[in-house]
Amino acid sequence: MMLDVLTARNIKKTYSSGYRAVNGVSISIKKGECVGLIGESGSGKSTLARCLLMLEKLEEGEIFLYDKPLHLMKKREIRKVRHHMQAVFQNPSAAINPKLKIMDSLMEVLDTHPEITPVYIQDVREDRERCAARLMEMVGLPKRYLYCYPHELSGGQKQRVSIARAISIEPSIIILDEPTASLDVCTQQQILNLLKELQKQLNLSYLFISHDLSTVYFLSERIFVMKEGVFLDSFYKDELFSLQRHPYTKKLISLFES
């Protein structure tokens, strides 16, 4: 049996204020699969994402990257395997350092791990500039932006740079935390199409987090519904309209149909 890329069991996270944002959640993601996670604001989606990325200290629970237990690792060891999990965040302007040229932000992961050479940049790995240009091409940006500063790019372009950075190291999984939430409808659709294309092309695994049912439905094969720190419902995409859905899921569907 093939191992799941990412397995999390019984994740719990309480903030120092005493608020339990994530309360016993389990999830597993297969290679090449896109898992959607939908929930309203404050349902604990982003906290779960941060927990999975090992950015937060877990209160309880286990996280496995393939068979490696991340929750048992020391900080130094985690840093070495961290690049297997990449992320794209909601606000592309905050995710790119405004004082660095696009090139330097884009190449950050590859610069940090000179020993790793993804297949799709194998032939240009030695040449930093051509490497960056190849990545820009993959997300549909002209390479002249490489020497620009982030404020010279639009929101959608910056999000493409974020995506290029995430795919640059050929990660096992990309956690997409509302990557389209701050974009207009048109750009949203372009970014979603790009993500879908890249997934097919590179056989990527996604955890796609959103509060928008239609985008989750568009991209994901499996969907989890989250509310108040727990999963209320989980189902395959084609079961969305089945009668056994949780009342909360039905409520979400009716909201998006109207």
Partner 1 sequence: MKIAKYDYSMIRKWLPVLFLFAYVITVAIAPAFAPYDPLEINMSDRLSEPSEKHLLGTDHLGRDLFSRILAGGRVTVGTGFLVLTIILIVGVPLGMLSGFIGGRFDRYFMRIIDAFLAFPDFIIAIVLSGILGPGMVNLVLAIVVAKWGSYVRLVRSTVLAEKEKDYVLMAVISGLPAYKIIRKHLLPHVMGNVLVLATLDLGKIILMIASLSYIGLGAQPPTPEWGAMLNECKPYFYSSPHLMVIPGIFIMCTVLISNLAGDMLRDRLDIEK
Q: Which residues bind partner 1 (CB under 8 A)?
A: 53, 55, 79-80, 82-83, 85-87, 89, 91, 94-97, 99-100, 103, 105, 108-109, 112-113, 128-129, 147, 162, 165
Give Cα separations from 236 to 19, 88, 117, 222 (angstroms).
31, 24, 34, 4
**Nearest approach, Cβ of residue 2 and partner 1 (Å):** 25
- State which residue, 79 or 251, has the beta carbon closest to partner 1: 79
Angle at 42 between CA 164 and CA 35, to 5 degrees: 45
Cα(136)–Cα(254) distance, integer angstroms: 39
Query: Which residues lie below 8 Å from residue 212, measured CB to CB, with a gap of 6+?
Result: 38, 180, 181
**Nearest approach, Cβ of residue 104 and partner 1 (Å):** 8
Q: State which amino acid sits at residue 93.
A: S
Evaluated on CA atoms 121, 134, 82, 47, the torsion sign reads negative
Phi and psi at residue 122, to the nearest 5°: -55, -45
- State which residue, 103 or 198, has the beta carbon closest to partner 1: 103
**Nearest approach, Cβ of residue 203 and partner 1 (Å):** 21
**Nearest approach, Cβ of residue 171 and partner 1 (Å):** 10
- State which residue, 82 or 222, has the beta carbon closest to partner 1: 82
Cα(132)–Cα(149) distance, integer angstroms: 15
- State which residue, 87 or 223, has the beta carbon closest to partner 1: 87
**Nearest approach, Cβ of residue 87 and partner 1 (Å):** 6
- State which residue, 31 or 128, has the beta carbon closest to partner 1: 128
